[in-house]
């Protein structure tokens, strides 16, 4: 019971921090491309460092090291998955985490995203686009695992220090991203299957098969992230119901399909890569995260794909 309460609190922190930080890979890359503003990108480094500090120690303490994901095969599916994930984020106008932020602003057209996630999951299964990960080599405490944790501390310190020199807004960004990283990593260790992509697909597959889902822990955590984002939107005065039209709904649906196809090949969305797989020592997760952002950067100037994304608050 106490662990579940901790997970729900961590989920609310993830949603709240994601909204407070204006966290979105599309926005971060766009701001660097247009204005050479690297603060949001450095915020991801802070989140990844904090997650690495949390992931292995918590997994070892809970005896769940054997559940941590290892490296995906270094092959074409990984490359294709990252490209699809980045392209889908551009089409949607936000990555998976960025969509949570925009939900906190009350953007109603994002109802198309879970529909796209379900369709993309079904299409990926039909095509056989699924990659199974081996367990992490850091399942048990050892010197290499401790070095990885130390590396996370160094990244957190250096990235946080850089942001601290960029002004008060950047310092607040560093704090919120560190909170999101630590809370998100706790969730990936203690409650696998909590992310929106996992929850939506689990429910859709159960309904399609006419069966009930006994475990509602993931659903409760996903709803807690939304509650955290909405709370932040209300506190900042940005929560206003907005309808951007049917084309925006269609883009969210199409973006969800593309992102879900990519998630099946990597596997994992940008949230799982940065806060789950990479902190568990999967180098291919960092590679996929970098390729996703490179895809956003290279395709970002194409008007047929690039859609107006929120400019962020930092």
Express the helix, strand and coil content of the chain in percent, nearest 5 each.
70, 0, 25
20 is a domain residue: yes
**Average pLDDT estimate for 282-293:** 96
With tokens 């992490």, the residue in question is 136
The pLDDT value recorded for residue 36 is 93
When the pLDDT of each residue in the chain is averaged and rounded to a whole number, the result is 91
d(CA 298, CA 314): 23
40-51 confidence digits (pLDDT tens): 999 999 999 999
305 is a domain residue: no
Spacing of C-alpha 22 from chain mean position: 13
272 is a domain residue: yes
**Within a 13 Å sphere around the CA of 2, how many CA atoms are in the beta-carbon half?**
1
Residue 120 has pLDDT above 70, yes or no: yes
Terminal-residue alpha carbon distance, the chain: 38
Spacing of C-alpha 196 from chain mean position: 9
pTM of the predicted structure, to 2 decimals: 0.93
52-87 confidence digits (pLDDT tens): 999 999 999 999 999 999 999 999 999 999 999 999
Domain count, the chain: 1
Residues whose CB is less than 8 angstroms from the CB of residue 134 and which lie 6 or more positions away in sequence, other chains included: 70, 71
Residues of the domain holding 104: 2-299
Spacing of C-alpha 18 from chain mean position: 10
Spacing of C-alpha 109 from chain mean position: 20
Q: Which residues pair with 235 in a beta bridge?
A: none
Closest alpha carbon to 81 in 306, 303, 285, 300: 285
Residue 174 has pLDDT above 70, yes or no: yes
**Where is average pLDDT lowest: 58-67, 139-148, 189-198, 289-298?**
189-198
311 is a domain residue: no
117 is a domain residue: yes
98 is a domain residue: yes
Residue 305 has pLDDT above 90, yes or no: no
**Average pLDDT estimate for 148-167:** 97
294 burial (CB, 10 Å; 0-12 / 13-18 / 19+) is middle
With tokens 């579940």, the residue in question is 4
214-230 confidence digits (pLDDT tens): 568 889 999 999 999 99
212 is a domain residue: yes
Q: Which residues pair with 69 in a beta bridge?
A: 135
Closest alpha carbon to 205 in 111, 114, 122, 112: 122
308 is a domain residue: no
The total number of residues written for the chain in this structure: 314
């Amino acid at each position: 019971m106490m662990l579940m309460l901790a997970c729900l609190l961590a989920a609310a922190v993830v949603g709240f921090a994601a909204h407070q930080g204006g966290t979105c890979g599309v926005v971060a890359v766009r701001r660097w491309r247009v204005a050479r503003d690297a603060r949001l990108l450095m915020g991801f480094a802070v989140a990844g460092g904090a997650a690495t500090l949390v992931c292995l120690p918590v997994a070892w303490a809970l005896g769940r090291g054997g559940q941590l994901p290892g490296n995906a095969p270094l092959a074409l599916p990984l490359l294709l998955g990252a490209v699809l994930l980045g392209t889908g984020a551009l089409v949607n106008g936000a990555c998976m985490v960025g969509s949570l932020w925009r939900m906190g602003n009350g953007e109603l057209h994002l109802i198309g995203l879970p529909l796209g996630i379900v369709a993309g999951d079904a299409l990926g299964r039909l095509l056989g686009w699924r990659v199974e990960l081996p367990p992490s080599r850091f399942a048990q405490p050892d010197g290499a695992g401790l070095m990885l944790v130390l590396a996370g501390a160094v990244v957190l310190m250096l990235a946080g220090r850089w942001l601290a020199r960029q002004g008060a807004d950047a310092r607040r960004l560093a704090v919120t991203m560190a909170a999101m990283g630590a809370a998100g990593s706790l969730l990936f260790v203690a409650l696998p299957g909590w992310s929106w992509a996992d929850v939506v697909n689990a429910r859709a597959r159960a309904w399609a098969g006419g069966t009930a889902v006994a475990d509602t822990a993931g659903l409760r955590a996903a709803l807690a992230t939304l509650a955290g984002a909405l709370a932040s939107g209300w506190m900042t005065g940005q929560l206003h119901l907005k309808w951007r039209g049917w084309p925006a709904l269609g883009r969210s649906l199409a973006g969800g399909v593309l992102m879900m196809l990519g998630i099946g090949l990597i596997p994992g969305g940008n949230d799982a890569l940065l806060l789950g797989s990479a902190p568990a020592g999967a180098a291919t997760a960092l590679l996929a995260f970098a390729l996703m952002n490179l895809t956003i950067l290279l395709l970002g100037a194409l008007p047929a794909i690039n859609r107006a994304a929120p400019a962020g608050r930092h």
